[in-house]
Amino acid sequence: MHPLCNRVRVDLDGQDPVFSVAAEVVDDRVSMRVTGEVDMATAGRMFDAALADGARAAFIDLTGVTFFDSAAIHALIRLSERFPGGFEVMPSRPVRRVLDIAGLGDQAWLKKVEE
């Protein structure tokens, strides 16, 4: 259960809302797995993790992300500009919904997730 400001709790299907990011560089591509909540407090850490030395491409797995705000969107846009033609994002359902609402659902870097 995740607390909300009005003392109502929301079940996140057992997912932990705590942010984490793991990155690995192979050749010139950074692959990242991000979990939890990506918001104004954590979006910068996600962005910085993608800026590995020598990386000229990036793959970001967001399938474990439960919350995604405008700071997170801004970080993705900046990364797409940093890695033109070499950027891929695999979204979770919540991330996909936020990106669709923001008008970014048709970006070439956004991969389709099988339902």
In 17-92, which ranges are continuous DSSP H helix?
43-50, 70-82
pLDDT at 86: 96
pTM of the model: 0.83
Burial environment of residue 63 by CB neighbours within 10 A (0 to 12, 13 to 18, 19 or more): middle
Residue identified by tokens 């990242």 is 32
Cβ atoms of 27 and 55 closer than 8 Å: no
- Taking only the tens place, the pLDDT of each residue in 38-59 is 999 999 999 999 997 779 999 9
- Taking only the tens place, the pLDDT of each residue in 56-77 is 999 999 999 999 999 999 999 9
Architecture label for domain 16-101: 2-Layer Sandwich (3.30)
Q: By percentage, how much of the chain surpasses pLDDT 70? A: 83
Buried b / exposed e along 26-60 (16+ C-beta atoms within 10 A)? eeebbbbbbbbbbeeebbeebbebbebeebeebbb
Cα angle, residue 71 at apex, residues 63 and 56 outer, rounded to 5° = 65
Q: Give the three-class secondary structure for 95.
A: helix
Please state the domain extents for the chain.
Answer: 16-101
pLDDT at 89: 98
